Amino acid sequence: MNAPSAVQPQRPTTALRPRAHHFRGSLGRFATGVAIVTFDGASKRHGITVNSFTSVSMEPPLVLVSIARSAKAHDELADRPFTVNILGAEQQKLALHFAGSPGQEPVWVEGPVAPRLANVLAWFECRPWAAYDGGDHTLYLGEVADFNYRTGDALAFANSDFTTIPESQLGVEDLL
Ligand SMILES: Cc1cc2nc3c(=O)[nH]c(=O)nc-3n(C[C@H](O)[C@H](O)[C@H](O)COP(=O)(O)O)c2cc1C
């Protein structure tokens, strides 16, 4: 990784435990897209569904995902290239497949940096940049090496449920 890596041991937490359900419900009011992080581990290929994706920096181009320490993919993601695959409206079954409910078999594409999924709405192939302590999660930052997108409606997640965002409501990049 280029920048200092700062994965710290998990500290004991005291706050919020009795109100965890309410905390989750409050967080769930923040509507997001849905993505799958894919990468090659030491012995197998991994994929994990996330909605914690966010853009971080334009120069250098950096993006972030937050991965639970309890996830099978957590430890292996450190120092490995990965792809963030942004899902289209019709890809909910793929989201469930990589969230512990296997069903729809993915179609893989061999990217030059990391494996990715076919026909996703957008993708970002990333080289590892840094990892930061995020409590019971680790924040993995990737430097975007390549990316692309297609037209189509987006898969979204709000109030603990899947929904869609019509393409007509996407694409306001020029306003940013
Ligand atoms: C819509 C949605 C969003 C999710 N977002 C995250 C996330 O941002 N980070 C995370 O670690 N797990 C997230 N999860 C949970 C993981 O996808 C799920 O726990 C997965 O099964 C963990 O992988 P494992 O079974 O290989 O450990 C999300 C699940 C769903 C359905």
The DSSP string of 110-163 is E-SSSEEETT-SEEEEEEEEEEEEETTEEEEEEEEEEEEE--SPEEEEETTEEE
User: Which among 36, 38, 48 is the best mutation to test ligand 1's pocket, defined by most ligand atoms within 8 Å of the CB?
Assistant: 48
- Say whether pLDDT at 167 is over 70: yes
Report pTM. 0.91
pLDDT, tens digit, 9 for 90 and up, residues 2-59: 444 555 555 555 666 778 989 999 999 999 999 999 999 999 999 999 999 999 999 9
Task: Report the nearest-CA residue for atom 26 of ligand 1.
Answer: 72
Which mutation among 51, 136, 159 tests ligand 1's pocket best, with the greatest number of atoms within 8 A of CB?
51
54 versus 171: which is more confidently predicted? 54
* The pLDDT value given to residue 169: 79
Is there an atom of ligand 1 within 6 Å of 155 CB?
no
Map tokens 């963030």 to a residue: 84
Q: Is 91 in the pocket of ligand 1 (CB under 6 A)?
A: no
- What is the residue type of 22? H
* Separation of CA 50 and ligand 1 centre (Å): 5
Nearest Cα residue to 102 out of 93, 90, 111, 110: 93
Residues 50-101: tens digit of each pLDDT: 999 999 999 999 999 999 999 999 999 999 999 999 999 999 999 999 999 9
Residue 168: the pLDDT is: 85
67, 73 Cβ separation under 8 angstroms: yes
- Residues 97-116 have a mean pLDDT of 95
Q: Which domains does the chain have, with CATH numbers?
A: 32-167 (2.30.110.10)
Q: Is 67 in the pocket of ligand 1 (CB under 6 A)?
A: yes
